[in-house]
Structure 1
Amino acid sequence: MSDTVDVVDLVSKLLDSGKYKEVLSVHNDEKYASSFKDNCWDMISVAVSKIQDETIVIKPSLYSTCEELLAIIVQKATPEEALLEFIEQVEVAKNDAQFGIVLTPLQQLLKKLTAKRGRSLEWSLNSISTYVENIPTPEFQLEGKARLLAECDPDIRRIIRVYSLIPPFYQPFIEELKAPESNVRTKQIIAAFLISLLGKPLIYLDLDVENNEQSEARLCCATIVKDICSLEKNILKFLEYVEICNKPDSKLKSVSDEEKAPYDHKEKLNMLTLSGLYYVVLASQFDLPDNAIPQVYTTEYVVHTGLLCVIYLLNCPEYGPQSKGLTLCQALVKRLSTNASQTLLSAAVHFNLCKALINVAIFSSYDSLRKTAVNTIRNHINCFEYGGRCMLIKYIISTSNHSGMIGYAITQLKNAIDDAFKETEMPPCFTYPQMMDLVKKVCHMPHGAQSDLMELSDQIISVLNFLRYLVIRDKANVTGIKECYSYIESYYLTTLRNALNLSKAHYEVKLKDVREGTDLVETKVSINVGGNPLDSIPDEQKIEIINSALNCFHLMDGLVARLSECITVNNVNI
């Protein structure tokens, strides 16, 4: 036992004192030869512990000595025992230099274990996955051209550095699998590992081809994708696993981790990693082998299953996944033929997509992503025939609960009807009685005359413009809009006029109070603007806000008057 302590302690002290030649000669010393071989396990951790991120720069001799010492241990140690220690050193590495220095000896040990490599290789790759996934996720606030600076971020530089170390480790094993009698399970083990690398943290990096096609992050990703394609010729086969991940009551047989097939491990193939895979394969313009995407799958299947990945990415709060979700969504929508059948909307995925896009358009922290989400909503709507467009627009109006988004949906409805007027026959979804249903849906004031008109301003202005357009455009009453005039006047315009009168009076009293200085002494009227109380702010700002609201009310008044005039001009008996 004393010999064991002596040789390990000796090696550690020699490394600390810079006696590197002596370190590398210990195993040849008859006094320590036997003990060295018996204690290789402990010396692995000693050698690795001496390495810090800056060691290769400030103490290159120490780094190279530790490298050589680990290579000697690979030759002297019992492979199975040394393998377990190297695997653990990968998982518990305290810095990237320790992670990197262990990969080569680990690879050499695996090469020696040709007969029993399968499980050992899987353990080794799992340890690498553990280390990679524990790297902190970068979150940058850069947009537009400033995104080109992202790769200067220390966290992103670290991710790229670690990812660059991984292909040299696994590629020799891929080369061996090119033989005709190669092991299918080993092939799947490596492929599952590579797919997992497309999840955290790589998915948080900017891989947009428009920013920098030759960025280091894209080059790392390109290597991984190329190697996946070399292992699995049909990349679309993994769409099946996307479906499995979205089945809440999946009836998979309960088996131990050792009995599971490599692709059944959820820590490898899950919605994050599969979404990363299909972003790369379907949307990010990486060079793929011609046979990687076979044409035997229906467009409907590829789009609907791919949209599950889009929805998952859009529901992530970070820039990277949201951006990739939008890019993938745009690519998938383009795959649908122009005027796609509304029967495709029997799949709930389209409505779930709408919901996810609306959330990004309203709540994303990034202005560029909000704008892209709005454009993507329009593109998604417009890829369908008129019946499908109408269904999606009605869904947005019913569920978004946001005046601006509802107003945008009503504008899309107006544009769809304008396109429909160019057809030889008006689509049934835009004719009476369906038109009456549309009018009732858009002419909705949740609290009648008591509604907050400022909160609903975008929606109301869009409704008034839509109705005025329809009254003026459809003099022949193709849509049956004339049958809706009575409802528009008696329900919507009457209610809106009353609401405007109440709101204007309300705000004018408040303006008078603020100007006369009585607002601070006695609050005669309290006002919420967009749900926020108009208190505790300077009087000048209060006056500005109230005047802006009054101007908005006057605009609405004018639009109501013009709409009523248009209806009267059309000689309708209201």
Structure 2
Amino acid sequence: MALEQLSDVVQKCQAVQDDKYSPEDYDVFTIAGRACIEEGHSAQVLSILDMVRCMGWNLLPPLVQLLLKQEVKNRTPCQAILKLLLKVCSPKELLVGLLEQVEETPVELLVNSFLLLLKPLKEVLMRLGVRKASSLGMVLSTLLEQVAKLPMPRSLEQEADDFHPLCHCCTSLMAFVRPFVDEARPGPPQNSPQDELRVELLKFCMKSLSEPLLQVQFQDSDPLAVSPLREFAVDILSSLTAIGETLQGLVCHPVLSKRRVAGFLEEEVRYPKESLASLAHLLFVHHIAMDAFPAVFRTEEHCIHKGLELYVKSLVMVVDGTVTVTELEVKTFTNVSQSLVKIMTLCPAHHLRTKGLKVLQLSIDKFNVEAKYKFFQCMLKISSHSGVEGYIIKNIRNQIDFSLKPGNENDWFLGVHLMPLLRQVFVLPDGPETDLLQYMDRLMESLNVLRYLVIRDKVTENQTGVWTELTQTEERFMRPLRVGLNMSKAHYEMELRRTMEGNKGKVKEKSLLSVAVGDEQLPNMTSESQIQALHSALHTFDMMESVLVRIEELVEVKDLP
């Protein structure tokens, strides 16, 4: 009966265009398909499944329930159905269906569930390609929630037992995660999908430090005994290092100080205090992964950290907007600013670079309007770093925006005084020959400032003076940038075509290539990575061009009578 119903609904659905099946069709297919599987007609289900791909994932629950049973006569056909579902159905729907089965698995069957479902979950994630980061985060969160339900081993003997649920699941979980960790390792070319993947893996590792590792009572009496949970801890700490986090940086992570700045809640999500405490306990009490931790902190790093904290302590006692130009001219201010730039750009410790940037902003906030103006002028002259210059230009824009609001008018970020500063902003260091990738941060912020000004400042009011000098800005900045963009895009598009054509049937995927763009030799990398780097560069040029085109359109409209 069930087999006949299934055949009927499949024949009906084959006549429907664009897979626009009715809710009744879904219900009949699901009920009949489940009944056929439960009655042992798996081979017949397999033969017709490819005809109705979009409904196939509804068969996951009965398949998983049968496969989780210890004795299944038709296990092979059921496995074949599952394999076909993973191949033909939508990965998004499969992901939801598989996670539902993980969540609904009783605790006593969780080990079997992991053994059965982790491989399909990995296959589905791989089908998502570069879009898999957020889905991986959801999968890892769900798996950890299930692991947290398992009882803790009460002795070293229990922990060493291959069949202890928690130990077995933790071991399986790390085997599942390891390929994603390898994929997320920092290295050229860096791209946003990798960054998203690192964030999700960071959250997973930090959550694992809290649950289950914070609750584990490690037994150190027998160092030679097998300890799956100790191995799990080692893998978690190794994964943190692999995705670019330093153990010493995590131990010293200043979570509490981040409460004073915007975005600290995001920091607490990524770096929970309980997880950091668990990390410190694993390192200093049980000496897990201690070989990757410096025996002594680098002296200069330790001093930089203390110096930054001392400077912050001095700054917080100063009222915002009260430091004048006279005080700014004291040589110490210039020296400290230059030191902050060096920390932000050269310090190998990520947490110190981040802190240096926040301290720089804190010091900027203390200056009055004139002092800010002079400071920005000075920094654009001495920084020699695109990222720092971009950050200063962003501050200039914020200060202009503040000055344009009623009651905030001043002589420094409006009118005559503003123009010399904007001339420092709207400039190409080497004219059309400027390396646009090297100066990307600076140029994007400069374009954003110019776009903001032509939108915000009306031609009839011209409070900033941008319309007075528009012709000079076009000649000195916009037109050379247009030429530079055209030249750069042509170079990279030509190199991309050459690389892709050279790969067709001639170069193996893992072989190393060396590519020159203009006079610049790109580092050796695989052909796939080389193509990805060229695409990334072209995407950067497209972003710059889109903002430039928007500015040109706005200028043209406002120039019309």
TM, length-normalised to structure 1: 0.43
Larger Rg: 1
TM, length-normalised to structure 2: 0.44
